[in-house]
Structure 1
């Protein structure tokens, strides 16, 4: 009888430990889903997000629980898991901000910044909405949900459960990733900026040669038409470059970009 009681007590301790591991996985997963592109957008209902968090937790928990250390519940432990999830989510969200930055640069360079102004729920040019919707669709089509589950599992090797991230390492990684994403946004917008500069230099030369000609009345519509044509041709290539960089980050999320 004593042996049975001892075994039951051991099972009770094991189930309690498993419960706290599940809570920590839920916290990290919830913080990631809150910032995850496509699945964590404001348009997604909260109930749908909760179901997604539970689904990711059910996928990640069996893998993590096999090698998880003994968990001591506490505010510090819970806070470290939330911080780890936010770090992962911010890293992914920066690539969406790269699309927004590239779209803003393109809109300013091609006089399309006021096209359909106020039609979007967020104060950004119409090109930004085009890039973001297309980028999110490509990411989901490329298996974003599968990559997100792999990212969560991989994160426990770099950010162990229950241990707070080192501020110095997070700062170095975050700064390098911000530099990399901004460089990506400038690279995406570079063809439009170069074309706009060449076009404006040509208009300046024409205006210098023919001062009586109203160059602005002729040049502005032509610039807008050329920008739209160039946007139609270049958008698939730009989104392919962005998707390649996004998938590379998902494969090695904690690699310091060079």
Structure 2
């Protein structure tokens, strides 16, 4: 009984420490690409969060158990906020890939093909890029990089300490700007193809007003868009994975 009484404080401290880590991990895992998708059942997400917690907890420094209710509330809120901030930062890369697919589809007149195939309505190009990007991210070790990111986050966002609102807002704006820049960069080949197509169509229409160029040009732009997707999708997905890996390895650095 004496030995059990001595182990009880250690058990309470370990449980409290694991619970705090779980709060940050669960908030991040709920938005993690592939693992936190809407199509993934809630039980699976819970199992994923617990697995990440078991991996991350031994690498995180133990903090003292707060005695006051206000201190406990502060610690709980800061951990959830830190996890959500990191999760949103990663989720923006998925939104960037979805935006790139939407831009590409609208540029090549393919925006209405299988528009409701996914959980969120999106053009077929966006759905293909999302599925391919998530599969490639998991194949390249997304779970390992996510665990490393969580451990690294405690150096920049210590447990139980609020991040300054100005710094967090500046960081968030920078991540949004990087996401839109990445989206337009990935969709650039399709935008260029659309510009060239419309210029050529205008020149043909000027030279031959009697020709119904719309009937001739529609199959051309559709076939060209599909061929360009076939050729450029490996490069698009590799650039996207490299950008996300850069964020996972240095989430609080200057966006490139």
TM range (shorter): over 0.9
Q: What is aligned with 2:165?
A: 167
Instruction: Compute the displacement of 1:169 (Å).
Output: 1.1
Instruction: Report if aligned partners of 2:38, 2:119 keep a CA contact under 8 Å in 1.
Output: no
Query: Corresponding residue for 1:213?
Result: 211
Structure 2: 5+ residue stretches without partners: none
Aligned residue for 2:10? 14
Name the structure 2 match of 1:48.
44
Matched, 1:69 2:69: no
1:68/1:161 contact within 8 Å kept: no
Runs of 4 or more off by more than 6 Å in structure 1? Answer: none
d(CA) in 1 for partners of 2:118 and 2:40? 17
1:130 aligns with 2:115: no
Q: Structure 1 residue 105: deviation in Å?
A: 0.5
Gaps of 5+ in 1: none
Per the alignment, residue 155 of structure 1 pairs with 153
Q: When the two structures are aligned, how many residues end up with a matched partner?
A: 252
Aligned-residue CA RMSD in angstroms?
A: 1.6
**CA distance, structure 2, for counterparts of residue 93 and residue 75 of structure 1:** 27
Could you tell which deviates more after superposition, 77-86 or 44-53?
44-53
* CA deviations over 1:115-164 (Å, ceiling 9, x no partner): 12334332110111100000000000000111111111111111101112
After TM superposition, the structure 1 stretch with the greater mean CA deviation from structure 2, 103-112 or 69-78, is: 69-78
How far is 1:52 from its partner?
1.2
Corresponding residue SS for 2:22:
helix
**Mapped pair 1:229 → 2:227:** yes
Partner of 2:236: 238
1:152-189 CA distance string (max 9 Å, x none): 11111111011122211111111111111110110011
